[in-house]
Chain A
Amino acid sequence: MLARVRSAAVLGLEAYPVDVEVDVGIGLPAFTIVGLPDAAVQEAKERVRAAIRNSNYQVPARKITINLAPADVRKAGPAFDLPMAIGILAATRQIRAPAAPNGTMLVGELSLDGGLRPVAGLLSILLGARSRGTRAFIVPEPNAGEAALVDGLQIHPASTLAQVIAHLEGTSPIPPLRTAPRAAASPPDDVDFNDVRGQDHAKRAMEIAAAGGHNVLLVGPPGAGKTMLARRLPTILPSLTWEEVMEVTQVYSVAGLLRGSGPRILRPFRSPHHASSTAALIGGGPGPRPGEVTLAHRGVLFLDELPEFHRDVLEVLRQPLEDRVITVARVQSTVTFPAAFMLVAAMNPCPCGHRGDEKRECLCTPPQVARYLRRVSGPLLDRIDLHVEMPRVLPAELTSVPTGESSTEIRARVLRARAIEQARLGGAASCNAEMTPRQLRRHCRLGEEEKAFLRGALERLGLSARAYDRVLRLARTIADLEGSDGITVAHLAEAIQYRAFDRPLRLLG
Chain B
Amino acid sequence: MTGRCGCWGNVLTLQDAAYPAALRTIADPPQRLYVRGTLQEADHRAVAVVGARRASAYGLAVAEWLGQELARSGVTVISGLARGIDAAAHRGALQGGGRTIAVLGCGVDIVYPPEHARLMVQIIEAGAVVSEFPPGTPPLRHQFPRRNRLISGLSLGVVVVEGRADSGALITADCALEQGREVFAVPGGVFAETSALPHRLLQQGAKLLTTVEDILEELRLPKPPTSAAASAIALEGTEAAVYAQLSLDPQHMDVLALRCRLPVAEVARVLLGLELRGLVRALPGQRYVRTTVET
Contacts and interface: CB of A to CB of B under 8 A. Distances in A.
B269 A494 contact: yes
Nearest to B54: A361
A358 interface: yes
Interface centre among B54, B253, B271, B284 (most CB of A within 10 A): B284
Interface in A201-242: 201, 204, 220-221
B114 interface: yes
Nearest to B273: A493
Contacts of A367: 113-115
Interface string A47-81: 00000000000000000000000000000000000
Contact of A389 (B258, B271, B285): B285
A464 interface: no
A183 interface: no
B255 interface: yes
B267 to A, nearest CB: 8
A457 B272 contact: yes
B284 A356 contact: yes
B165 interface: no
Interface residues of B, number: 28
A221 B252 CA distance: 14
A389 B282 CA distance: 12
Interface residues of A, number: 39
A489 to B, nearest CB: 8
Given A366-B115, A401-B258, A391 B286 contact: yes
B250 A358 contact: yes
A367 B116 CA distance: 12
B265 interface: yes
Given A349-B284, A366-B113, A460-B276, A398 B254 contact: yes
A493 B258 contact: no
B114 A204 contact: no
Of residues B253, B264, B285, which shows the largest number of chain A Cβ atoms within 10 Å of its Cβ?
Answer: B285
A109 to B, nearest CB: 54
A508 B285 CA distance: 10
B263 to A, nearest CB: 8
Contact of A457 (B115, B259, B265, B276): B276
Nearest to B113: A366
Contacts of A493: 268-269, 272-273
B269 A490 contact: yes
B272 A366 contact: no
B235 to A, nearest CB: 16
Among A358, A457, A509, the one with the most B-chain Cβ atoms within 10 Å of its Cβ is A509
Nearest to B271: A497
A395 interface: yes
A390 B253 CA distance: 10
B275 interface: yes
B250 A366 contact: no
A353 to B, nearest CB: 11
A472 to B, nearest CB: 16
A198 B255 CA distance: 9
Contacts of A494: 265, 268-269, 272
B283 interface: yes
Contact of A355 (B254, B269, B284): B284
A491 to B, nearest CB: 8
B115 A398 contact: no
Contacts of A390: 285-286
Contacts of A1: none
A395 B264 contact: no
B273 A398 contact: no
A391 B285 CA distance: 6
A357 B286 CA distance: 11
A389 B285 CA distance: 5
A496 interface: yes
B287 interface: yes
A198 B115 CA distance: 35
B265 A204 contact: yes
Nearest to B253: A201
B110 to A, nearest CB: 15
A389 B286 contact: yes
A361 B115 CA distance: 21
A356 B283 contact: yes
Contacts of A204: 264-265, 268
B276 A507 contact: no
B83 interface: yes
A398 B256 CA distance: 11
Interface string B229-256: 0000000000000000000001011110
A355 B285 contact: yes
Contacts of B209: none
B276 A461 contact: yes
A509 B286 CA distance: 11
A38 interface: no
A397 B252 CA distance: 12
B268 A356 contact: no
B121 interface: no
Please give me the 8 A-B residue pairs with the lowest Cβ-Cβ distance, nearest first. A356-B285, A356-B284, A200-B264, A493-B269, A389-B286, A509-B284, A493-B272, A497-B268
12 contacts: A200-B257, A201-B252, A201-B253, A204-B268, A221-B285, A355-B284, A357-B285, A358-B287, A367-B114, A389-B285, A391-B254, A457-B276
Interface of B: 54, 83, 113-115, 250, 252-255, 257-259, 264-265, 268-269, 271-273, 275-276, 282-287
Given A200-B257, A201-B252, A391-B254, 20 more contacts: A201-B253, A220-B285, A356-B284, A356-B287, A357-B285, A367-B114, A370-B115, A391-B252, A391-B287, A397-B255, A397-B258, A401-B258, A456-B276, A493-B268, A493-B272, A493-B273, A494-B269, A508-B284, A509-B283, A509-B284
